Amino acid sequence: MADLQANLPLAGIRVLDFTWAWAGPFCTMQLAHLGAEVIRVETTARPACVTRLIPPFADDIAGPNRAGYFNQYNQGKKAITLNLTKPEAIEIALALAKHADIVADNYAAGVMDKLGLGYDKLRTVKPDVIMISMSGYGQTGPYKGFVGYGPPASAACGMFFATGYEGGDPGEIGVSYADPNAGIFGAFALMAALTHRAMTGEGQYIDQSQLETALVLMPEGLLQYDLAKREPERHGNHDPVMAPHDCYKAAGDDEKWVSIAVGTEDEWRALCGAIGQPHLAGDARFKTAALRKKNETALDEIITTWTKTRDRWDSTRILQGVGVASFPSMGNKDLAEDAHLAERGYLVQLEHPEVGKRIHAGIPWKMSGTPCAVRKAAPVRGADTEEVLKSLLGFTHDRIEQLRKTEVLI
Amino acid sequence: MDKNAKTPFSAIKVVECGQGIPAAFGAKMLADIGAEVIKVEPPGGDLARRRGPYPGDQEDPEKSGTFIYLNTNKRGVVADLTRPEGRELLAKLLADADVLIHNVPPSERAAQGLDSGALCAAYPKLIVTSISIFGDTGPYADWRGYELTVANAGGWAYLSPGASPYPDQPPLKCFGSQGDFQGGIHAATVTLAAYMNRLKTGKGQAIDVSEQECIAAMLEMNLMHWTYAHRETSRLGSRLLGPWFIADCADGKIFALAVEEEQWKRLVELMGNPEWAQEDLFKDRIARGQNQDALKALMSEWLSTWKVQDLYVEAQKRRIPFAPINTMRDLYESEHLAERNFFVTLDQPGVDKVRLPGMPSIYNRTQWSLRRPAPRLGEHSEEVFCGEYGVARDRLSELHKAGIA
């Protein structure tokens, strides 16, 4: 493990991680994937460590180390306990910051300052420290104190408004997308800051608003309004240009679906052949992309007649075999058992002291020269408190026990 | 716009190939902090030029909003990489590039001179970042895909819309091009990591980003519901907690949410402590999630008396995380975003002013800037190939006539 890490791009980079919930841990996990030592700071004194406390739990037995949510997004990190309501804990946090390259938080704006752990303070102990604060609305502006979570940020950025079935109400998009999205943009910003520091020696502070990281994903909608004064319309899975373009019912129980999207004339002809209706390619209703779009209801019916008698994987293989974009709509079991994801080494199964080996989503990229791998399962609560305080701050076992008794290290 | 503004990142030379969003967005992330990006388009132009939206809905490949957004701060050249002469032009650019980022599908790479292994052998210092739907390896590597394909292959569509009231309707793709954007931002992040590594070791490498895997990694507890508790998930079913729904106010829609019990208590106060709130049905957040239909019905009348903005602000004053279902217009008119200077105004030749989403993260040292408009098709071919890479002007016009440059 040590050798493997030594060759990674962020080997030697230490992150002091005050993040919680999802956006922040998703951010720092990317750095752990790239080889950084991420030390996660938690406390049992804070009731809202949500990801350890909500289901799914391993085998439905509740427990802070048994939560899938926490264990997914904290892979490869260390964990220490530190009760930041105690002045001594703040002193310890500052002492740790002295050894950190990066300090990350995703509290509401101003919380780190109030704790005495704001950027100006951190800079006094570590002049070239890089700090990122990932808040809901940013550190400035009239809404700076507003509470942000993934779902409301997905509403506020216009994604709910623009998503939905044909002619229907604004939709809810199924996951708290704005959370991991803020996390990956945070990881990019930190990579930029680390590169900046490597080239200039300067550290810096990054103010990141979850709302704004989601808005940069909305150019098609925003610019339609800016350039053509039209709000986006809701058309289910249909595309403004491509047709056919939908999820179609497959054989089997009600919840089997297969997606098909056609973007070129070649693909259209291939589709007609594959579904045994080559004459459709010459059908006046479907002769051009524009006509297919205009007559997509009729087209969708024809395709459904074909898909609903076939297994979704059979349809996919037939269509992909002739170069048509198609794929089953994957459920969680499908993903966990997928041969492609397994062969690529994406699905990770590492030993965890309380839940054993469980499949997790791994690293969605590969690097040929510095192969990244998830190096260890998520830490149980406080797993590394003693090791970190001894090795970085020279604390003795007795002192650590004393600090546990006085509820500093809980 | 100062085209010549320098930042530490100006030292990074990036060549971008491919079509549409993924590579263009990844390169944009680097260009916006100062990297020198040369975008290589095929003679017919990038697909994003044909996606719009267009001013006044009049189609024009030089005025596509999606293209403009993705390609500010870059210079643009044309080279047909399916022809040997086009690949020779690319080779000139790669000779002194630090990064090549592209989203040419694995099955088409060899023919365009973009095989990662061959490029790394030819240019040992080059970072070759490829973005694809299913990654460069594995049984589906050569399969085709669009955004809809990624939304389904990654497992997102199957969960959307959450707690769907429309069981007969299919899994639903989220608005826009989220798989493509995620491919781009992940690629940009890992590319910088590889650049950091190169600063230490002098060595380049190949990076393979799978959009399917990016999306599958962003689905909250989805996978673990199966691997921890053997439960299959879908867009059907109930909410984990409540309130968690979209509701009508007097003048629009709001997203009503209370995550923590304290937030619910403050919401009950804001509602004027109605008796029903004490019912067992709503005793904790889990119960409120399970009994959401009843909860929504009871809250609806109260919600309908509010204007969206007023309720948003009053709820947030009490640290209750409501949010408006914003329209595009709401966003452009947001006081908060205006005060943070989020939208940036671009003078795009031929289009007048365009208001673009700006900085996703505000750095206090690294400079994010808007330095130049998006390139017209082939705008910088001569400047780059002849002015900087020694291609004779006669040769370039020959290639132009042959439809290669």
Q: What is the pLDDT of residues B143-183, one digit of tens each?
A: 999 999 999 999 999 999 999 989 999 999 999 999 999 99
Q: Which of B196, B234, B320 is the closest to A194 by Cβ?
A: B196
- In this prediction, residue A300 carries a pLDDT of 98
Beta strands, E only, B303-376? 323-324, 343-348, 352-357, 362-363
B156 contacts in A (CB within 8 Å)? 174-175
Sign of CA dihedral B329, B330, B335, B341: negative
User: Do residues A152 and B320 lie in contact, with contact meaning Cβ atoms separated by under 8 Å?
Assistant: no
Sign of CA dihedral B315, B319, B322, B324: positive
Residue A20 in contact with partner chain B when CB distance is under 8 A: no
The pLDDT confidence band at residue A4, using thresholds 50, 70 and 90, is: low
Same domain, B213 and B309: no
Tokens 């061959």 belong to B118
Predicted confidence (pLDDT) per residue in B82-105, tens digit: 999 999 999 999 999 999 999 999
Residue of A nearest to B358 (CA): A216
Per the CB < 8 Å rule, is B366 touching A58?
no
Q: Which of B69, B246, B364 is the closest to A219 by Cβ?
A: B69
Mean pLDDT of B338-362: 96
Per the CB < 8 Å rule, is A163 touching B161?
yes
Number of domains into which chain B is organized: 2
Predicted confidence (pLDDT) per residue in B187-225, tens digit: 999 999 999 999 999 999 999 999 999 999 999 999 999
User: Do residues A95 and A126 lie in contact, with contact meaning Cβ atoms separated by under 8 Å?
Assistant: no
Predicted confidence (pLDDT) per residue in B19-42, tens digit: 999 999 999 999 999 999 999 999
Question: Is B335 inside a domain boundary?
Answer: no
B31 contacts in A (CB within 8 Å)? none
d(CA B361, CA A209) in angstroms, rounded, equals 7
Predicted confidence (pLDDT) per residue in B232-277, tens digit: 999 998 888 999 999 999 999 999 999 989 999 999 999 999 999 9
Per the CB < 8 Å rule, is A360 touching B259?
no
**Residue A207 per-residue DSSP state:** E
d(CA B80, CA A337) in angstroms, rounded, equals 41
User: Do residues B163 and B237 lie in contact, with contact meaning Cβ atoms separated by under 8 Å?
Assistant: yes
Question: Is B30 inside a domain boundary?
Answer: yes
Per the CB < 8 Å rule, is A152 touching B322?
yes
Amino acid at B225: H
Same domain, B278 and B363: no
CB pairs under 8 A between A and B: 509
Q: Which of B66, B194, B197 is the closest to A223 by Cβ?
A: B66
Determine the structural domain holding residue B254 and report its residue range.
244-327
Predicted confidence (pLDDT) per residue in B56-87, tens digit: 999 999 999 999 999 999 999 999 999 999 99
| A402 Cα to chain B: minimum distance (Å) | 33
d(CA A381, CA A158) in angstroms, rounded, equals 37
Same domain, B23 and B140: yes
Question: Residues with Cβ < 8 Å from A388, sequence gap 6 or more?
Answer: A39, A78, A80, A96
Residue A15 in contact with partner chain B when CB distance is under 8 A: no
Mean pLDDT of A195-219: 97
Q: What is the 3-state secondary structure (H, E, C) of B12-51?
A: CEEEEECCCCHHHHHHHHHHHCCCEEEEEECCCCCHHHHC
Per the CB < 8 Å rule, is A205 touching B364?
yes
For residue A258, the surrounding DSSP H or E stretch is: strand A257-261
Q: What is the CA radius of gyration of chain B?
A: 25
Q: Is the peptide bond before A379 cis (omega within 30 degrees of 0)?
A: no
Amino acid at B380: H
Which residue in A17, A101, A105, A179 is the catalytic one? A179
d(CA B381, CA B370) in angstroms, rounded, equals 21
d(CA B54, CA B343) in angstroms, rounded, equals 18
Interface of A with B in 194-223 (CB under 8 A): 194-196, 198-200, 202-209, 211-213, 215-223
**Residue A282 per-residue DSSP state:** G
User: Which among B302, B327, B352 is the end of a domain?
Assistant: B327
Tell me, yes or no, if A3 is annotated catalytic: no
- In this prediction, residue B66 carries a pLDDT of 97
d(CA B134, CA B238) in angstroms, rounded, equals 31
d(CA B67, CA B21) in angstroms, rounded, equals 8
CATH code of the domain covering residue B308: 3.30.1540.10
Amino acid at B91: A
> How many Cβ atoms from other residues are within 10 Å of residue B289's Cβ?
17
Q: What is the dihedral of CA A360, A364, A369, A370, to 10 degrees?
A: -50
Report the percentage of chain A scoring pLDDT > 90. 90
Residue of A nearest to B9 (CA): A196
Strands B74-78 and B99-102 turn out to be unpaired
Domain A245-336: state its class.
alpha beta
Name which of B279, B320, B296 is nearest B238 in CA terms: B296
Q: Which of A48, A68, A186 is the closest to B221 by Cβ?
A: A68
Q: How far is CA A202 from CA A72, A197, B326, in A?
A: 33, 5, 38
B131 contacts in A (CB within 8 Å)? none
Predicted confidence (pLDDT) at residue A50 exceeds the cutoff of 80: no
Residue A408 in contact with partner chain B when CB distance is under 8 A: no
User: Do residues B37 and B98 lie in contact, with contact meaning Cβ atoms separated by under 8 Å?
Assistant: no
Predicted confidence (pLDDT) at residue A48 exceeds the cutoff of 60: no
Mean pLDDT of A174-197: 97
B195 contacts in A (CB within 8 Å)? 195
Backbone angles phi, psi at B271, to 5 degrees: -80, -5
User: Do residues B259 and A149 lie in contact, with contact meaning Cβ atoms separated by under 8 Å?
Assistant: yes
For residue A150, the surrounding DSSP H or E stretch is: helix A150-156
Predicted confidence (pLDDT) per residue in B278-289, tens digit: 999 999 999 999
Same domain, B104 and B172: yes
A2-217+344-405 homologous superfamily: Crotonobetainyl-coa:carnitine coa-transferase; domain 1 (3.40.50.10540)
Q: Six-digit token pair at B255?
A: 């997203």
Secondary structure class of A275 (helix, strand, coil): coil
- In this prediction, residue A302 carries a pLDDT of 98
Q: What is the dihedral of CA B4, B5, B10, B13, to 10 degrees?
A: -30
What are the percentages of helix, strand and coil residues in chain B, rounded to 5? Answer: 45, 15, 45
d(CA B53, CA A256) in angstroms, rounded, equals 34
Interface of A with B in 290-329 (CB under 8 A): 320, 323-329
Per the CB < 8 Å rule, is A177 touching B174?
yes
- In this prediction, residue A2 carries a pLDDT of 47
Same domain, B74 and B134: yes
Predicted confidence (pLDDT) per residue in A270-292, tens digit: 999 999 999 999 999 999 999 99
For residue A2, the surrounding DSSP H or E stretch is: helix A2-6
Q: Is the peptide bond before B22 cis (omega within 30 degrees of 0)?
A: no
Query: pTM of the entire structure?
Result: 0.98
Q: What is the mean pLDDT of chain A?
A: 95
**Residue A67 per-residue DSSP state:** B
Same domain, B311 and B387: no
Report the percentage of chain A scoring pLDDT > 70. 98
Per the CB < 8 Å rule, is A222 touching B166?
no
Same domain, B191 and B312: no
| B84 Cα to chain A: minimum distance (Å) | 24
Q: Which of B116, B177, B363 is the closest to A204 by Cβ?
A: B363
| B347 Cα to chain A: minimum distance (Å) | 13
Sign of CA dihedral B46, B47, B49, B50: positive
A72 contacts in B (CB within 8 Å)? 221, 223-224
Q: What is the dihedral of CA A238, A240, A242, A247, to 10 degrees?
A: -10
| A256 Cα to chain B: minimum distance (Å) | 9
Tokens 């990038």 belong to B46
Locate the domains of chain A by residue range: 2-217+344-405, 245-336
Residue of A nearest to B327 (CA): A158
Residue A246 in contact with partner chain B when CB distance is under 8 A: yes
Secondary structure class of B99 (helix, strand, coil): strand
d(CA A224, CA A232) in angstroms, rounded, equals 7
Count Cβ atoms within 10 A of the Cβ of residue A2 and give its class: 0-12 exposed, 13-18 middle, 19 or more buried: exposed
Q: What is the dihedral of CA B102, B103, B108, B113, to 10 degrees?
A: 0
Q: Which of A160, A223, A323 is the closest to B144 by Cβ?
A: A323
**CA B287, B174, B348 angle in degrees (round to 5)?**
135
Question: Is B227 inside a domain boundary?
Answer: no
Question: Is B225 inside a domain boundary?
Answer: no
Amino acid at B299: M
Q: Which of A9, A170, A218 is the closest to B357 by Cβ?
A: A218
Per the CB < 8 Å rule, is B65 touching A227?
yes
